[in-house]
Structure 1
Amino acid sequence: MPAASALSVLIVDDQLTIRSLVRNGLQQIGVTNTREAGDGEEAVAALVARPAHLVITDFNMPKLDGLGLLRAIRSYEPIKNTAVIMLTGRADPELVQRAAQYGVNNYLVKPFTVATLREKIEEVFGALT
């Protein structure tokens, strides 16, 4: 479907190293239009100011966690169709169920490879060109 270079992605994680790993992985698959936020509150403000095609967000963050961010995105009309991939260190069935209930598009379990990152994005958007 889309060219990787056309995707705009907001990376949300309270750990700078994880944001950097995701950003570098995205760059390796051709996604260069990225922004970052350190928590869910910062992410909501960033999305309201300038929407993105995709949010890759950690689950466990201070202030507003990944589920809270997902709920905020889905409840705000201008950004409610933004794709969301939940990044988590634990494949907790309860978390997966709650995220699905709120409309998450996909999951990425840490640690991840660039190939897995691409696969998860392509499951949401179709093949990247």
Structure 2
Amino acid sequence: MLDNYDEDLKKEMKVLVIDDVVYMRAIIIDMLSRLGITNVTEADDGEKAHQLIQNNPFSLVLCDWHMPKVNGISLLRMIRFSHDTKTLPFIMVTSNQKLDDVKECIATGVSGFLLKPFELEKMEQQLADLFDDVVLHHRTLGILNEKVVEALDKQEQA
């Protein structure tokens, strides 16, 4: 499924994994690595994750729903309300299957779900389903970064 995508591109992608349980973060990071995605940053709560997102360009976010300080749905709202991150692909990782909560998440603009417990194949399918969006977001970040560098070069030359 993800084999159709360039290995270098997968390694370049910047993924943020957010979960307050260190063991769960390790599982997700290991699965991403087995899929060829190795540029991963981790956070243990939504507050830290929000700071990271504000200061770093990410291609994809995988976030637990239930966390201290700022939970997954609140973080998703903050991301969607920010002009700079409103299109950032966001996968909610949760054991929460309450219909009202799932509807709220969808209405807020979640890109996908991984229901715990999940296996590598489920993660690969979820990523394959939205990988074109992730690639587009990653390339947009690259284009924007190039434009920022060009603008700074022009300012420096002036």
Q: TM-score range by the shorter chain?
A: over 0.9
Number of the residue aligned with 1:36:
42
Give the gaps of 5 or more residues in structure 2. Answer: 135-158
Structure ranking higher in strand proportion = 1
Give the gaps of 5 or more residues in structure 1. Answer: none
Coordinate RMSD, CA, aligned: 1.5
Give the alignment partner of residue 102 of structure 1, picking from 108, 117, 134.
Answer: 108
Are 1:53 and 2:59 matched, yes or no?
yes
Number of the residue aligned with 2:72:
66
Q: CA deviation at 1:83?
A: 0.3
Using the TM superposition, name which of 1-10 and 50-59 deviates more. Answer: 1-10
SS in 2 for 1:57: strand
Structure with more contact order per residue of length (Cα contacts < 8 Å, sep ≥ 6): 1
TM-score normalized by the length of structure 2: 0.76
CA deviation string 1:94-126 (max 9, x = no partner): 111000010000000011111111110111114
TM-score normalized by the length of structure 1: 0.93
CA deviation string 1:14-36 (max 9, x = no partner): 10000000000000000001000
Alignment of 1:1-129 (within 5 A): 3-126=9-132
Structure ranking higher in helix proportion = 2
Higher alpha-carbon Rg: 2
